[in-house]
Structure 1
């Protein structure tokens, strides 16, 4: 059973206290910077975890004036759309209402997940804003470029599918210090899933310090895992081992401990006793939560 830490009380609570009862996930994201994007990402993980447990979910978004930019960035990162938050109160038959908001942000009374901020490093990657303006977070830009350029850092997360290289270097992401001008055109080979993995690598209660080196590591890991999954898929299929499935679920049902899920995958990758078919099924199963498109390279030449 999925349990989350209620930020108001510091105590664990059931995200779905009634079997098959509806859980409403209400997201509070008034801006379009990377911290607000992380709030949506955590809510996306919560919805995926609830659905994997068989819980019906109604997910809504309460946004601000930058909601269009926020939704565009969320779409790039594979975050599923949230409904516009209707003007409703209690009494709709939900068994639970969970509010997801940034630390210190406003949210209604009720169970709450507080998401720690994304802090700038030498990368400070973000999504949304105006091309070429170098605007700071929260400042409106003139227009949105086609590939989701970061107004905060000059980082681009976009590009054509299937064209990212094995090693996504910081220069390929257009990661520039905040004071420097951004590149005029986005690279065509970057993969938004790299930023998604970098954000997933820290628990939502811990700040994320985005740096070029961290994005490099995420790019290397993602490329290696996708290549391995494509190779494993050529071997006879085997079920996910019961103990591995149990460790995966125990991790994400413990306050959405996604770093714990990633640790299990690292173990599965190198465990000499596991057949490749079981590795494949394990990664495909875990990706229902992670949303990293780990099976993307199936059928491609090795």
Structure 2
């Protein structure tokens, strides 16, 4: 695993004021709380209790089809976002159909390992339970228990040539991250082509920026990133911030590097993949 900060380069103090572009700081930056939409009520709720007690994330994927993989991906994003906010997480995978195949496909997609779920009951005394399910589906038992939150994931329509297993998993992950989890997605040759080009361009850029002196992520940029993903896991918003950072001529390249490495802790796209590789 490549660390967020480049090896052998020590972080330096920011440049003088005026040399870092003034991004619009979100008013929520001072007190960020991950909020998600509970599919049972349609209301936005805190994904974790204020006292940051243990949160259980259960992925209820039907199988290793594209929609099942998207359910796993959204659960993975929830785990990452909660952990970045300092919340302890217990991640579980439920369902009996093709579990081994689902785990293998999820691992290829960059989903971190989930424990086997099932009849876990109250578990470890967690303060919150998040059930990630395909839209229209339900966890075993007919729905989330009292106090649980249901996160619905829209279906994926596969129109690309060849099966999903033939696609670069990082490219597929980026193609899915381009849309809100509640929005149905059509994955075709054009969508995969756009994702492939973007991923290759960003990895090349990050490898180039790695040669420059390190600069901290500007507070305003960090705030924009956090405001996006804390707002119902708006990964499309996170990607928009990265595009703005890529195109901003006034942002030091060392700050671009650290921004992309920081955002990748959520996105899981291995954006530092080409760092240290021959040009």
TM-score when normalising by structure 1: 0.77
Size of the alignment, in residue pairs? Answer: 241
**Contact 2:92–2:114 (Cα < 8 Å) also in 1:** yes
**Contact 2:95–2:118 (Cα < 8 Å) also in 1:** no
Does residue 26 of the first structure (1) align with residue 58 of the second (2)?
yes
**Contact 1:103–1:114 (Cα < 8 Å) also in 2:** yes
2:103 aligned partner: 71
**Residues in 1 aligned to 2:197 and 2:109: alpha-carbon distance in whole angstroms:** 18
Tell me, which stretches of 5 or more residues in structure 1 are unaligned?
127-148, 150-155, 158-190
**Contact 1:28–1:63 (Cα < 8 Å) also in 2:** yes
Partner of residue 156 from structure 2, selected from 94, 115, 118: 118
1:111-140 deviation digits (Å, cap 9, x = unpaired):
1100000012244753xxxxxxxxxxxxxx
1:38-87 deviation digits (Å, cap 9, x = unpaired):
00000000000000000000010112321111111101111111100042
1:242-272 deviation digits (Å, cap 9, x = unpaired):
0000000000000000000000000000001
**Which secondary structure does the structure 1 equivalent of 2:80 belong to?**
helix
**Contact 2:37–2:232 (Cα < 8 Å) also in 1:** yes
Does residue 44 of the first structure (1) align with residue 21 of the second (2)?
no
2:89 aligned partner: 57
Partner of residue 269 from structure 1, selected from 224, 233, 246: 246
Task: After the TM superposition, list the runs of 4 or more consecutive aligned residues in structure 1 that deviate by more than 3 angstroms.
Answer: 122-125
1:8 aligned partner: 40
Partner of residue 174 from structure 2, selected from 197, 200, 207: 197
Shift of 1:19: 2.5
1:164 aligned partner: none
RMSD over equivalenced CA pairs, Å = 1.3
Tell me, which stretches of 5 or more residues in structure 2 are unaligned?
1-32
2:232 aligned partner: 255
**Residues in 2 aligned to 1:262 and 1:124: alpha-carbon distance in whole angstroms:** 27
Shift of 1:218: 0.4
Deviates more, 1:81-90 or 1:46-55: 81-90
1:188 aligned partner: none
Greater helix proportion: 2
2:29 aligned partner: none
Does residue 296 of the first structure (1) align with residue 276 of the second (2)?
no
Deviates more, 1:252-261 or 1:77-86: 77-86
TM-score when normalising by structure 2: 0.84
**Residues in 2 aligned to 1:242 and 1:125: alpha-carbon distance in whole angstroms:** 42
1:257-291 deviation digits (Å, cap 9, x = unpaired):
00000000000000011000000000000000000
